[in-house]
A and B are shown apart, each in its own frame.
Chain A
Amino acid sequence: MALLRYIGRRLLFVLPQLFGIVAVSFFLLKMIPGDPALLMLGPLASQEAIDEIRSVMGLDKSLIEQFIIYLERVLSGDLGTSWQTTKPVMEDLLKRFPATMELVTLSLLFALIIGIPIGILASLLKKSIINKFSTYYGLLAGSLPDFWLGLIFIFVFYTILGWAAAPMGRLDLGILPPTVVSGSYFIDSLIAGDWETFGNVVAHLTLPVLTLGLINAGPIIKMTQSTMDRLLESDHIRYARSCGLGEFQIVRRAFRNSLPSVLTIVSVLYSFLIGGAVLVEIVFSWGGAGQYALSGVLNADINPVMGFVVWSAILCLVLYLIVDLLYFAIDPRLRD
C-alpha cells in the first residue's frame, strides 16, 4: 500500500516535468533563426507559396495555438520526418535507441564491477596503495576525453595487436542481426540462442564498453569510497563492531547502507551517457541514437535532433522513476 502511494506521488511529479520538457523543446525550435517556411522553399519562392506553407505548418496561428499543436503531435508520437533517412523520426529512433541503451547499460555494469570493489578496498585499507590509486584514478578518469581513449584502444588492440573486432558498428558485415525482440543485439542473440552471433556482438562491444566503463568507474569509486568512509565511522556500525561482529559482516552491512548513494551516482551517469556516449558511438561507428541526432545537427535536419532531445529527456525521467523505486526497495525507512 505504501508502495502504491509512493509511486502515485512520484508519478504526479512526472507530468509537469514531461510538460516542461516538451515546452523547452518547443521554445528551442522557435529560437532557430529564420522563417521555417522560407527555409523550406528557398529564397526564390513566391509570397503566395510562402503563405500557403505557413498556413499548412500552422505558423500563422498564435504561439500558444502552435504550442498546443506541437504538444498533440509529440504526445501522439509524431516527431516529423528526417530528410536524411526520409523516414519518420520515431521509427528511426526506435531502431537506434536500443543500440545506445545496450552500450550504456553494459558500460555502467562494467564500471560498477570494477568500481565497487576498489572503492570498498580503498575505504577499508586507509594507508594502502589502493587508497592513493583510487584518489587519483577518480581525478584522472574524469579528465580523459572518452573519445580519445577509445581511439587509443582501437590503435592498441585493433591496429597493433589485432585482438579486437573492427571498430565498424555492432556486427561484422557478413553476419545478420538476430530477430528483433528488444532491439539490443546482446539480448536478442541470447534469446535466439545463436552463439556465433552472440560471440560477434560481444567482440564488437568489448572496446567501447571498456572505454566508457573505465572512464565512468572513476565517479563510482569515489562515491563508494566516501560513503563507506562515512558509514564505517557511523554509530550503527560502531555498535555492530562492539557487539563483536566479524569484519565481513560489518563490511556487508556498511555496503548495504551505501547502496543508495551508489545508485544516485549511477543514475546521474546513466542520464549523462544517454547523450554523452555519442562521441564513443562515433568512434566505433555504433549507429546509436546520439549519432543519429548529431548527423541531424550537422546537416540542418532539425526533426531528428528535437526527437532525440525529447526522447532522451523522457528516458531520463523514466530512469529516475525506476531509481526512486529502487530506493524504495533498498531503504526500509521509505516504506513507513
Chain B
Amino acid sequence: MKVLYLYCKDRPLIGFGYFFVFFLVILAIFADLICPWPPQTANPDDYLQAPSWRHLFGTDETGMDIFSRCIYSIRLDLSIAFLGTAVSAIVGTAIGALVGYYEARGRLKTVFSSFTMRALDVIQSFPVFVFAIALVAIFGQGLYSIIAAIAFVNMPIYVRLMRTQALSIRQMRYVEAAYLSGLSDVRLIIKHIVPNSMGPILSHLSVNVGWSVLLAAALSFAGAGVEAPTPEWGSMIAVGFKNIVTGQWWPSTFPGIVLGLTVFSFALIGASVEVLADPVRRRAAIAKY
C-alpha cells in the first residue's frame, strides 16, 4: 500500500486510475441508495429530456433515467469483465504451464505441446471480434455466452505468457532440486512454476479487464450481447444511436464517457502494475523517497 501511495504521488493520472476504479466499485455496491430513479422503469412523460437537475444525464427515448442506468451498468459490465478475465486467466495459465513444462520432454509430451500451440495459432488467425460474435451466436444470446466468448478469445494470450515463463523457470536450479527430491510433475507446477511466473500475468490482468469491458460493450452494441432494457453501457449507446442524428446527444454520450473512463483507468492500473510487479523497476520508480 505504501509503495503504491509513493508511486502515485508523482503520477497523478495513475492515481486517478486507482481512484476511479475504487469509486466505480463503491457506486456499484450502493447503486440502490445513490440512484435517483429506478434503472429499468420507463417514464413516458419524461422521454428524451435533456440533462437537468431532475435527470442529471437526461433520459432516453423511452424515458428511462440515463444517470441511474449508467450506474447500474457498472455491476453488469464489471462482473462480465472480471468473470471472463478470471476464467481465461485460470484456464490459460494452467494450459500454458503444462505446455511449457512438458515441451521437449519425451515424444508424447512434445506432441501435446506443439499440437496445443498450433491450435492456438489457428484460433488466433480468426478475427477476434467476429469470433466472439460467432461464439455468442452458437451458444445463444445470454450472459454466460458473453462471458464464455470473452474468456475464449482472451485465453491464447495467457497460454503464451505462461508458456514462455515456464520454459525459462523449469531450467532453474531450485526446480531441478525439487524434482530430484521426488516432487510429482503436477505439484512441481503448482508449487514452483506458477507462483514464480505471476509477474507478467498480473500486469496483463488489469489491462485485460478493461479490454473485456470494451468487448462486452461492443458485443452489446452490436446486438449480440446484453439486450435493451437491462442497463449496460454498450446497449445504451446503441439505443441512443438513432437520436444522435436528430440532435439528442445525451443518451449515447454519457454511457460512452463512463465506459471510456473505466477502460482507461484499468489501462492506467495495468501500466503501473507492470512496473510495481518488477522489484528492480519498483525500487527505481520510488527511489527518491
Task: List A residues at the B interface (Cβ < 8 Å).
Answer: 16-17, 20-21, 23-24, 28, 31-33, 136, 139-140, 142-145, 147-149, 151-152, 154-155, 158-160, 167, 271-272, 274-276, 278-279, 282-283, 290, 293-294, 296-298, 302, 305-306, 308-309, 312-313, 316-317, 320
B130 contacts A308, C-beta separation under 8 Å:
yes
Q: In the complex the two chains form, is B246's CB within 8 Å of A159's CB?
A: yes
Asked if A294 meets B123 with Cβ closer than 8 Å, knowing A151-B244, A159-B245, A305-B134, the reply is: no
Q: Does B137 touch A at the CB level, under 8 Å?
A: yes
Cβ-defined contact, B127 with A148, below 8 A: no
Q: Is the CB of B125 within 8 A of A309?
A: no
In the assembled complex, the Cα of A24 lies from the Cα of B136 at a distance in Å of 15
Give chain B nearest CB distance to A4 CB in angstroms.
24
Q: Report yes or no: B249 in contact with A155, Cβ–Cβ below 8 A.
A: yes
What are the residues of chain B within 8 A of A139 when measuring CB–CB?
264, 267-268, 271
The answer to whether A293 and B237 touch across the interface, beta carbons within 8 angstroms, is: no
| 21 A-B contact pairs sorted by A residue (CB < 8 Å) | A21-B126, A139-B267, A140-B264, A145-B218, A148-B237, A151-B240, A151-B253, A152-B253, A271-B127, A272-B128, A274-B130, A275-B128, A276-B127, A278-B129, A282-B221, A282-B222, A294-B223, A297-B137, A308-B130, A309-B131, A316-B125
Given contacts A167-B245, A290-B130, 19 further A-B contacts (CB under 8 A): A16-B118, A20-B119, A20-B122, A24-B122, A143-B260, A144-B263, A148-B237, A148-B259, A151-B256, A152-B249, A271-B127, A275-B127, A278-B222, A294-B222, A298-B224, A309-B130, A313-B126, A316-B125, A317-B125
How far, in whole Å, are A144 and B241 apart by their CA atoms in the complex?
Answer: 16
Q: Among B222, B240, B259, find the residue whose CB has the most chain A CB atoms closer than 10 A.
A: B222
Q: A294 with B224: in contact, given A159-B245, A159-B246, A274-B127 (CB under 8 Å)?
A: yes
Q: Which residues of B contact A309 (CB under 8 A)?
A: 126-127, 130-131, 134
Q: Which residues of A contact B259 (CB under 8 A)?
A: 145, 148
Interface hits, B181-232 → A, CB 8 Å: 210, 214, 217-218, 221-224
Contact present for B130 and A312 (CB under 8 Å): yes
Determine the residue in chain B with the shortest Cβ distance to A290. Answer: B130
- Are A279 and B134 within 8 A (Cβ)? no
* Cβ contacts under 8 Å, A279 to chain B: 218, 221-222
Q: How far is the CA of A147 from the CA of B235 in the complex (A)?
A: 12
Q: Which residues of A contact B263 (CB under 8 A)?
A: 142-145
With A143-B267, A152-B256: A275-B245 Cβ-Cβ less than 8 Å: no
Contact B264–A297 (Cβ < 8 Å): no
CB distance from B74 to the nearest CB of A (A): 16
- Nearest to B268 among chain A residues (CB) is A139
Q: Which residues of chain B (119-178) have a CB below 8 Å from chain A?
A: 119, 121-123, 125-131, 133-138, 140
A298: chain B residues at CB < 8 Å are 223-224
Residues of B within 8 Å of A312, CB to CB, are: 126-127, 130
Flag if A297 contacts B127 (CB, 8 Å).
no
A residues less than 8 Å from B135 (CB atoms): 28
List chain B residues, Cβ under 8 A from A282.
221-222
Is B279's CB within 8 Å of the partner chain A? no
Q: Is B4 an interface residue (CB 8 A)?
A: no
A290 CB contacts on chain B under 8 angstroms: 129-130
Tell which of A143, A276, A302 touches B128, judged by Cβ atoms closer than 8 Å: A276
Residues of A contacting B241 in the complex (Cβ-Cβ under 8 angstroms): 151, 283
Residues of A within 8 A of B252 (CB): 148, 151
C-alpha gap A140/B263 in the complex (Å): 9
What 1/0 flags go to B234-248 for Cβ under 8 Å of A? 100100110011110
Q: Which residues of B contact A145 (CB under 8 A)?
A: 214, 217-218, 221, 234, 237, 256, 259-260, 263
Whether A302 contacts B140 in the complex (CB less than 8 A), given A275-B129, A283-B241, A312-B130, comes out as: no
Minimum CB–CB distance for B264 against chain A, Å: 4
B137 interface neighbour in A16, A20, A149, A305, Cβ under 8 Å: A305
Bound Cα distance from A279 to B252, whole angstroms: 14
- Assess whether B13 is in contact with A28, with CB atoms less than 8 Å apart: no
CA distance A219 to B218 in the complex (A): 19
Question: Using Cβ atoms and an 8 Å threshold, which residues of chain A touch B122?
Answer: 17, 20-21, 23-24
Given contacts A148-B260, A279-B221, A294-B224, contact A143 B214 (CB under 8 A): yes
| Given the contacts A275-B127, A297-B133, A297-B224, A32 and B218 also touching, CB distance less than 8 Å | no
A271 to B121, CA, bound (A): 13
Point out the residues of chain A lying under 8 angstroms from B268, CB to CB.
Answer: 139
B270, closest chain A residue (CB): A139
- Contact among B121, B138, B210 with A20 in the assembled complex (CB-CB below 8 Å): B121
